[in-house]
Amino acid sequence: MLIEKIINNNIVSSFDDLGHEVVVMGRGLGFNSKPGQQIDNLKIEKIFRMDSQVESEQLQAVLSDIPLEIIQVCNEIIAYAKTALSNKLSKNIYITLTDHINFAIQRYKQDIHFTNALLWEIKKFYHQEFMTGLKAIELIKEKLGITLTQDEAASIALHFVNAELRTEMPNTINITKLIQNILKIVTYHFQVVINEDTLNYERFLTHLKFFSQRVISNHNNHGEDQVFHDMIKNQYPDAYECALKIKEYVEKEHEIILPDEELIYLTVHIKRILMN
């Protein structure tokens, strides 16, 4: 590969064999180099292949002012997350997470303390992502000697949720609040404490993540299986009544109409968690 543009001493841009722009990282790649020169393959540590020209330019802008050691630990964190999390991550995570961690480290050095108001909810609703966030701050301490808090681990976890759901941070925060309110409706409707240590609860949470994403983005599933709808309604009347309350709340708060298919899947999941 040939150097197309020098971003800084350690980052350059180039084009791969298919003619797609890539961002190439390696210590000293850009130092005393010029566009058109061959990239030293032995120095290459990471090649970023983004999904669009816009994302490639955004990544270059983010990486241009960040120390190499921070970029390296962010890459290690993302590599770990790809194996630890079950859902595929958007490539945009290289932009958002690297930028966030760099800013968190700047706050740490300035002795500015951050409190995450959604720490409890993130721990509860996004357990895998939160555990990955804890691993991230462990790696940051190991590699950079900087000790970040659980509040930062929770913020890092939300970036993983963004990358899984392919949405943006404000939407993810709204999704989290919606999940919390739906669980409150279920708890109050049945006057029970939900057993959170069950597979059915995990399945319900997973469903709620994507259900809430559809609500926030106003993209809902549509189905016309009236026979199936009537069967579920008659077979699980209590769960169906609770699902109706969720439907009414969502439609009032978010000014959308939920189709019957969403109502039925909510009913089935509610019935499953009640079995535990």
**The dihedral of CA 80, 81, 85, 87: what is its sign?**
negative
Mean pLDDT of the chain: 92
Give the list of residues 6+ apart from residue 237 with CB closer than 8 angstroms, or none: none
Q: Are residues 158 and 185 in the same domain?
A: no
The mean per-residue pLDDT over the stretch 167-180 comes to 92
Q: Are residues 162 and 72 in the same domain?
A: yes
Q: How far is CA 82 from CA 94, 143, 160, 210, in A?
A: 12, 19, 10, 19
At 109-119, the pLDDT tens digits run: 999 888 999 99
At 209-268, the pLDDT tens digits run: 989 999 998 776 665 567 878 888 899 999 999 999 999 999 999 988 888 889 999 999
pLDDT band at 160 (very low <50, low <70, confident <90, very high): very high
What pLDDT sits at residue 144?
Answer: 97
What pTM value is reported for the model? 0.84
Instruction: Kindly state whether residue 15 falls inside one of the protein's structural domains.
Output: yes
193 lies in which domain range?
173-274
pLDDT band at 121 (very low <50, low <70, confident <90, very high): very high
What's the CATH number where 11 sits? 2.30.24.10
Q: Are residues 139 and 73 in the same domain?
A: yes
Instruction: Kindly state whether residue 182 falls inside one of the protein's structural domains.
Output: yes
pLDDT band at 17 (very low <50, low <70, confident <90, very high): confident
Q: Is the pLDDT of residue 107 over 90?
A: yes
Residues 141, 135 contacting (CB under 8 angstroms): no
At 66-87, the pLDDT tens digits run: 999 999 999 999 999 999 998 8
Q: Are residues 189 and 251 in the same domain?
A: yes
How many domains are contained in the chain?
Answer: 3
* Element counts in the chain: helices (H) and strands (E): 11, 4
Percent of the chain past pLDDT 70, that is, above it, reads 97
Residues 97, 156 contacting (CB under 8 angstroms): yes
CA diameter of the chain: 74
At 43-55, the pLDDT tens digits run: 999 999 998 889 9
Residues 190, 274 contacting (CB under 8 angstroms): yes
Higher pLDDT, residue 171 or 224: 171
What pLDDT sits at residue 220?
Answer: 66
Q: Are residues 81 and 158 in the same domain?
A: yes
Q: Are residues 82 and 101 in the same domain?
A: yes
Instruction: Kindly state whether residue 262 falls inside one of the protein's structural domains.
Output: yes
Instruction: Kindly state whether residue 186 falls inside one of the protein's structural domains.
Output: yes
Percent of the chain past pLDDT 90, that is, above it, reads 77
Please name which of 161, 151, 159, 162 lies closest in space to residue 119, comparing C-alpha atoms. 151
Instruction: Kindly state whether residue 192 falls inside one of the protein's structural domains.
Output: yes
H-type helices in 34-168, by residue range? 53-63, 68-84, 93-109, 119-125, 127-144, 150-165
What's the CATH number where 178 sits? 1.10.1790.10
What pLDDT sits at residue 223?
Answer: 59
Indicate the residue among 116, 150, 166 that finishes a domain: 166
Q: Are residues 83 and 116 in the same domain?
A: yes
Q: What are phi and psi of 4, to 5 degrees?
A: -90, -45
Higher pLDDT, residue 224 or 89: 89
